[in-house]
Amino acid sequence: MASDLDETPESPIVGEAATVVVLRDGTAGVEVLLLERPHSGSFAGAWVFPGGKVDPEDGDGEAGLRRAAVRETLEETGLVLEPTGLVPLSHWIPPIGAPKRLRTWFFLAGHPGGDVVLNPGEHVGCEWMTPEAALERHGAGGVVLVPPTWLTLHRLLGARGVDEALARAGGDGFERYFSHPLRGDDGVRAVMWSGDAQYEDASAVGEARHRLWIDVLPWRYERSKV
């Protein structure tokens, strides 16, 4: 699953992680479980999906990713998932130069039932939100999201229920997102992915777009039709 093209000696991939986007049916459409990180430490104050690092005992390959995803979800939320019930969604690679680069694999899963019981050492709050509500709150400055979470919510927009959301992703495997920053005078203006005209060269000329503008709220996603 690894690729030498994803890293350099100065910016190695230090491990793998697995994340689960837990879904349930709500009155306004599909709802997503989001967990609030503590306001200090990594991803301080961000709202994230359950997940964590793949341990050696989880094993290799996709089976190991599934075991890690199930284990981390149980540890963080008390929810018991079946490894075979996870639907592959996306594969995220941080930009070269980012600290502690973990290659992260996202799965979808339906809510297995039961209450969410947070691990107080991991998260300080949780909510079930529709993707629309989560993105609206983020755009208004009400919640903190990181680009992989934002784009995952964007992909779920319009899903009328869990079955529809799972069907959209089913069979497509992990869509790969190797993030490249687009920098301006004031820092990173956007995050780009394969298919953007400036993905490999910021000075390149072209109209193709696959990027998320993160310089001001609300964030704006552009993806040209292929």
- pLDDT value of position 4: 46
Determine how β-strand 175-178 pairs with β-strand 87-93.
parallel
Q: How many other β-carbons are positioned within 10 Å of the β-carbon of residue 114?
A: 10
For residues 212 and 64, give the distance between their C-alpha atoms in angstroms, rounded to a whole number: 30
Could you report the per-residue pLDDT of 11-66, keeping only the tens digit for each? 788 899 999 999 999 999 999 999 999 987 777 899 999 999 999 999 999 999 99
Please give the radius of gyration of the chain, using alpha carbons only, rounded to the nearest integer: 17
Query: CATH classification of 4-178 is 3.90.79.10, yes or no?
Result: yes
- pLDDT value of position 8: 60
- pLDDT value of position 185: 86
Q: CA geometry: angle at 146 spanning 161 and 69, to 5°?
A: 60
Q: Are 104 and 148 in contact (CB under 8 A)?
A: yes
- pLDDT value of position 5: 47
- pLDDT value of position 9: 55
Q: Domain-by-domain residue ranges, the chain?
A: 4-178, 180-223
Token look-up 């540890």 returns 75
pTM: 0.93
- pLDDT value of position 2: 46
For residues 29 and 13, give the distance between their C-alpha atoms in angstroms, rounded to a whole number: 37
Query: Which residues of the chain, if any, have pLDDT below 50?
Result: 2-5
For residues 210 and 222, give the distance between their C-alpha atoms in angstroms, rounded to a whole number: 6
